[in-house]
């Protein structure tokens, strides 16, 4: 079965349609790369491109996007609401099919090394690809933004993983990362009492006392007169949806509150749903190769 | 998203590798058709070919297989353990993606009409495509086999849906059918008492007092010292896996027996697993378009 890695470059241009099209076009021109989404935000002055391919193709696609963006974006004259340190601000690699987190760390490193060499842009690695603990957290890296980067990089702690010890004059620096697909998953509770959602969110999130790969907060859904535990699952393989769901259900029951439903925002990998089916149906022999569509993709 | 219909012709040759390869080759030669499986059984003297394509391509593929099989198979000299009335004995059409049962009934009818005209073979439609209630059941149609077919067809009740009122001299008749994908699904019970599996099987199956689209029987798994409810789900959209699973779990509990696991034999459509995830996680907004792989297939 074909390997699929996703790459989601965030670049600092969200207003000029020609520049955005040229940067996306650079990705589309790479053999073996498919662009599946492109979203631009004028207020943020930032675009998010989603492309897929095998690890070889996606590496070439990432470099093509960086080359096109660095040539067209000048951060010395850039403004926008979203914090950024680079023309290509963040470039995450995500394993989708037949690829592991380790594969994506390797891609992030080799693309970072090559981009530093070719474009003279300093590269920081973060999360699973990070080489220093202080750099695991993106907001630490991005603190001070492009404007503060020259001064920040004079400290030895901010020597980049690859490339020069000072920012690229117009393109700043790029943060390269390997991460799991994010699942935005909300669980709705049959009560208008915000404190129930808030208390449960605190119990299940990593920032607190909960699951390692779970971010959560309480939200009021005023139009429905109920509350919600709004969740980001940052690694569904290690902290699966069904475990978080069952935990929320049991915590809510302690207040006499029912789970009235849940919702997936955006996309989920099929595997996260297979995990739930496998768990609840107690399937002993589950493997993705039991799924007809997997077989169909093999012959595609 | 690309439409996918599956067609699984069962043809009466399971011994001669050259003939089998020629018949499968006829399917492979059709543009837009992919052969994903071919299984031959020498004792049955029968082969089962699985191919996929959109409704246009799969119709051409079905006719190509029929033409190649009718030219090569002579039922007057055919013997084998499996009952059969035709060179192409049964030709089912199954909706996989972006296709409905009604689409497959239409394909079965148009392929049947065209095959009768081109090859002079009488065609019976059964199950969802049947025009008469007596013909909904395949074993009724096949009773008497090829050897008894000439006499059987003299009765007005056995006038075929398409084609001549007598069998093709060497190729007999063909039964064309539209059906849902079958899911073979077994639920294992933590007891060695066969009567528990047997009683539950009788309670859940349509041939009995159970679910409309469920066949089931009790089985002993001697090596594991447990029993199993062995199930065929004949329409998972109408009788979903999770409903049968929960029913077996609750019936078993009445005997103090636990469900220790379940297993999928062969393949399952992804949709059957999505249904289970949607049910147990109480997902309010579920649609296959929320699944990343669906999006990937759209750009394939």
Residue B217: its pLDDT value, please?
Answer: 94
Please indicate, yes or no, whether residues A91 and A162 belong to a single structural domain of this protein.
yes
Q: Give the pair of three-digit tokens for residue B13.
A: 């040759």
Residue A218 lies in a domain: yes
Residue B298 lies in a domain: no
Of the residues B178, B198, B216, the one at which a domain ends: B178
Q: What's the predicted TM-score (pTM) here?
A: 0.80
Please indicate, yes or no, whether residues B161 and B281 belong to a single structural domain of this protein.
no
Residue A32 lies in a domain: yes
Please indicate, yes or no, whether residues B130 and B209 belong to a single structural domain of this protein.
no
- B292 to chain A: which residues are within 8 Å by CB? 96, 181, 267-270
Residue A257 lies in a domain: yes
Q: Give the pair of three-digit tokens for residue B1.
A: 């998203």
Please give the interface size between A and B, counted as residue pairs whose CB atoms are below 8 Å apart.
125
Which stretch of A208-217, A242-251, B126-135, B230-239 has the lowest confidence by average pLDDT?
Answer: B126-135
- A282 to chain B: which residues are within 8 Å by CB? 245, 259-262
Average pLDDT over residues A286-297: 85
The answer to whether A50 and A104 are in contact (CB under 8 A) is no
Please indicate, yes or no, whether residues B151 and B245 belong to a single structural domain of this protein.
no
Residue A299 lies in a domain: no
Query: What's the number of CA atoms in the CB half-sphere (13 Å) around residue A199?
Result: 13
Question: What is the distance in angstroms between the Cα of B58 and the nearest Cα belonging to chain A?
Answer: 15
Looking at B44, B78, B82, B168, which residue is catalytic? B82
Give the number of domains in chain A: 2
Please indicate, yes or no, whether residues A31 and A70 belong to a single structural domain of this protein.
yes
Residue B266: its pLDDT value, please?
Answer: 83
Neighbour tally for A256: CB within 10 Å: 9
Specify the 3-state DSSP secondary structure of B92: strand
CA distance B265 to B289: 27
Burial class (CB in 10 A: 0-12, 13-18, 19+), A175: buried
Residue A19 lies in a domain: yes
In the beta sheet, which residues pair with residue A88?
A: A11
Please indicate, yes or no, whether residues B151 and B243 belong to a single structural domain of this protein.
no
Measured between CB atoms, which of B277, B290, B295 is closest to A277? B277
Secondary structure element (H or E) that encloses residue B7, with its range: strand B4-7
Burial class (CB in 10 A: 0-12, 13-18, 19+), A120: middle
State how far the alpha carbon of B201 is from the alpha carbons of B137, B147, B181, B222, in Å: 21, 36, 21, 18
Please indicate, yes or no, whether residues B113 and B259 belong to a single structural domain of this protein.
no
Query: Which range of residues forms the domain containing residue B29?
Result: 4-178
Q: Give the pair of three-digit tokens for residue B227.
A: 């029993």
Question: What is the distance in angstroms between the Cα of A275 and the nearest Cα belonging to chain B?
Answer: 8
- At A293, the pLDDT band (50, 70, 90 cuts) reads confident
Query: Nearest to residue B61, comparing CAs of B136, B12, B111?
Result: B111
A158-167: per-residue pLDDT in tens?
Answer: 899 999 999 9
Q: Which CATH number goes with the domain that contains B266?
A: 3.30.70.670
Please indicate, yes or no, whether residues B137 and B194 belong to a single structural domain of this protein.
no
Specify the 3-state DSSP secondary structure of A10: strand
Of the residues B178, B197, B226, the one at which a domain ends: B178
Q: Which CATH number goes with the domain that contains B93?
A: 3.30.990.10
Report yes or no: B291 at the A interface, CB cutoff 8 Å.
Answer: yes
Strands (E), A60-173: 88-97, 123-127
Is B82 noted as a catalytic residue in this protein? yes
Q: Give the pair of three-digit tokens for residue B190.
A: 């933590």
Please indicate, yes or no, whether residues B67 and B167 belong to a single structural domain of this protein.
yes
**Helix locations, chain B, DSSP H:** 17-28, 55-72, 101-119, 138-142, 145-152, 194-204, 241-253, 270-280, 292-299
Is the pLDDT at A2 greater than 80? The verdict is no
Q: Give the pair of three-digit tokens for residue B212.
A: 């409309």
Vertex A281, ends A280 and A282: CA angle to 5°? 90
Residue B60: its pLDDT value, please?
Answer: 98
pLDDT higher at A132 or B48: B48
Q: Return mean pLDDT, chain A.
A: 93
Secondary structure element (H or E) that encloses residue A198, with its range: helix A194-204
Specify the 3-state DSSP secondary structure of B80: coil
B22-47: per-residue pLDDT in tens?
Answer: 999 999 999 999 998 898 999 999 99
CA distance A74 to B109: 64
Which residue in chain B has the smallest CA separation from A52? B296
Percent residues over pLDDT 70 in chain B: 98
Please indicate, yes or no, whether residues A87 and A143 belong to a single structural domain of this protein.
yes
Residue B300 lies in a domain: no
Please indicate, yes or no, whether residues A31 and A109 belong to a single structural domain of this protein.
yes
Please indicate, yes or no, whether residues B137 and B191 belong to a single structural domain of this protein.
no
A179-234: per-residue pLDDT in tens?
Answer: 899 999 999 999 999 999 999 999 999 988 999 999 999 999 999 999 999 999 99
Residue B127: its pLDDT value, please?
Answer: 75
Query: What's the number of CA atoms in the CB half-sphere (13 Å) around residue A95?
Result: 20
- B290 to chain A: which residues are within 8 Å by CB? 264, 266-268
Q: Burial code of A283-298, b = ≥16 C-beta within 10 A, e = fewer?
A: beebebebbbbbbbbe
């Amino acid at each position: 079965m074909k390997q699929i890695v996703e790459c989601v470059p965030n670049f600092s241009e969200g207003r000029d349609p020609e520049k955005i099209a040229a940067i996306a076009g650079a990705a589309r021109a790479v053999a073996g790369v498919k662009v599946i989404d492109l979203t631009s935000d004028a207020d943020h002055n930032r675009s998010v491109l989603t492309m897929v391919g095998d690890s070889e193709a996606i590496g070439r696609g990432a470099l093509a996007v960086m080359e096109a963006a660095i040539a067209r974006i000048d951060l010395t004259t850039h403004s926008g609401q979203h914090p950024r340190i680079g023309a290509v601000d963040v470039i995450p690699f995500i394993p989708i099919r037949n690829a592991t987190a380790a594969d994506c760390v390797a891609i992030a490193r080799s693309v970072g090394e090559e981009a530093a060499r070719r474009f003279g842009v300093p590269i920081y690695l973060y999360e699973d690809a990070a080489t220093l603990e202080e750099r695991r957290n993106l907001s630490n890296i991005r603190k001070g933004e492009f404007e503060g980067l020259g001064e920040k990089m004079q400290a030895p702690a901010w020597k980049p993983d690859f490339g020069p010890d000072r920012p690229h004059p117009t393109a700043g620096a790029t943060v390269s990362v390997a991460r799991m697909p994010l699942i935005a998953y909300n669980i709705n509770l049959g009560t208008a009492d915000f404190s129930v959602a808030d208390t449960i969110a605190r119990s299940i999130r990593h920032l607190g006392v909960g699951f390692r790969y779970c971010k959560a907060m309480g939200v009021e859904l005023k139009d429905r007169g109920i509350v919600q535990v709004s969740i980001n699952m940052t690694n569904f393989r290690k902290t699966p949806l069904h475990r978080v769901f069952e935990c929320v259900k049991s915590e809510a029951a302690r207040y006499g509150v029912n789970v009235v439903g849940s919702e997936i925002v955006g996309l989920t990998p099929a595997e996260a749903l297979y995990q739930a089916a496998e768990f609840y149906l107690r399937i002993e022999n589950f493997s993705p190769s039991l799924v007809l569509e997997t077989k169909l993709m093999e012959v595609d």
